[in-house]
Amino acid sequence: MSTSPARVQCIIALGSNIERERYLPEAVRLLRRHPDIDVRNVSRVYESPATGGRNGAPDFHNAAALVRTALGPRQLRAELKAIEAQLGRVRTDDRDAPRTIDLDIAYYDRLVAKFDGWSIPGRNAATAAHIAIPVAEAAPSWQHPTLGLTMSELAEQLGASDGEVRAVTWIQLSSPYTLRGLDDTDDFDEVYAPRLESLVRQQLVELGEDPTRKGLERTPLRVAKALDFLTSGYSSSVAEVVNGAIFDAEGAEEMVTVKDIEFYSTCEHHMLPFFGQASVAYLPKGKIIGLSKVARIIDVFARRLQVQERLTNQIADAIEETLEPHGVAVVIKGRHLCMMMRGVQKQDSSMVTSAMRGTFKDNARTRNEFLDIIGS
């Protein structure tokens, strides 16, 4: 790795008006976990009436985060959209439609620029009190690139004419860890999970490394974020990822097969990756599920410390409980780095596990049909 690109500071505006108490903290958590985004400060949550003149539309909750990143503005925006998608946001043409989560770049360093359909500073950043007030809390001394005002001055002006933006104190966005503000500039060290990071630092020492050398300085932070992601299955659930996307399919009795879904997991014996393809089939009994949901169910269990056999069974159990089909089959082919990189070094070895339930277990013809389809 050569020297990393310069990191700049940005302010991200967050908004939600569906299950706000859930999506705002979750969005902040995903920002924190992002390998290329350091969260430096987060505002409180502010409540304001929904725009667009919709009577009865739920009020908006807004917040702002001061972050540091080496991503360019387009890349950063793409990452924010990916987080929105992960949180279930479906973008429509209706700008005032209710949304689970909105993540926009309000300010990007000193940049003033127009892009295709968006701009920096962000839409309404300097005109809407519900954006300016949380922004001012996250970065009070930030200078607006053209107006010659600080964020606190701007928020004060806008807030005076709009008394409807109120802080909501019962939603906690900031982590228990200390977040430092804008004024301590270059020596800033993001702290994500202090105990885990100090353990990684100790581990580096035990391995004979110098955790203060340049290339390792941010390694404990990166490892903590990576481990958090790789074990994020513990904090998700099948019900949450399926999210009601089960469809009635009266009379559909044909086998549904999803073949070769890529997965990555971590072996619980060595905490090293194993990865490969999972194929899943079921014989519906009136209920089917979106294909993409099968992949997400796999991730709920793959993103934990695992053994391949249990992963296989847990996926089969989840499909069985969700759809109550006539039968379920799961076959996983996995390659384990703990076998490939060390000891016997069987580079080509892959392990195959399967779970057969219901008709797939009882009826050889059904089972063979599935195995034919997946080419086993």
Q: Which residue is catalytic, options 306, 308, 314, 326?
A: 308
Q: Is 173 within 8 Å of 63 (Cβ atoms)? A: yes
Minimum CB distance to Zn ion, residue 235 (Å): 23
267 is catalytic: yes
**Nearest of 338, 363, 342 to residue 351 by alpha carbon:** 338
The residues near 113 (Cβ < 8 Å, ≥ 6 apart) are: 73, 119, 120
308 is catalytic: yes
How would DSSP label each residue in 168-231?
Answer: E-SS--S-SS----SSS-TT----S-HHHHHHHHHHHHHTT--TTSGGGTTHHHHHHHHHHHHT
- Between 191 and 338, whose beta carbon lies closer to Zn ion? 338
Minimum CB distance to Zn ion, residue 233 (Å): 17
The residues near 36 (Cβ < 8 Å, ≥ 6 apart) are: 69, 70, 71, 79
Strand partners, 13: 64, 104
Q: Which residue is catalytic, options 240, 268, 309, 321?
A: 268
270 is catalytic: yes
- Between 225 and 336, whose beta carbon lies closer to Zn ion? 336
- Between 270 and 287, whose beta carbon lies closer to Zn ion? 270
Minimum CB distance to Zn ion, residue 293 (Å): 29
- Between 50 and 230, whose beta carbon lies closer to Zn ion? 230
Minimum CB distance to Zn ion, residue 314 (Å): 18
- Between 284 and 334, whose beta carbon lies closer to Zn ion? 334
Q: Which residue is catalytic, options 143, 324, 338, 369?
A: 338
Q: Which residue is catalytic, options 75, 164, 240, 269?
A: 269
Give CA separation, 254 vs 16, 88, 250, 317, in Å.
40, 29, 11, 20
Minimum CB distance to Zn ion, residue 272 (Å): 6
- Between 44 and 336, whose beta carbon lies closer to Zn ion? 336
Any long-range contacts for 118-121 (C-beta under 8 Å, 24+ apart)? 118/77, 120/73, 121/145
Q: Which residue is catalytic, options 34, 130, 144, 336?
A: 336
Site residues for Zn ion per CB under 5 A: 267, 269-270, 338
Give CA separation, 193 vs 32, 95, 177, 283, in Å.
10, 36, 8, 44
Q: Which residue is catalytic, options 143, 270, 324, 369?
A: 270
The residues near 82 (Cβ < 8 Å, ≥ 6 apart) are: none
The residue number with the shortest CB distance to Zn ion is 338
Minimum CB distance to Zn ion, residue 336 (Å): 6
336 is catalytic: yes
10 is catalytic: no
Residues serving a catalytic function are 267-270, 308, 336, 338
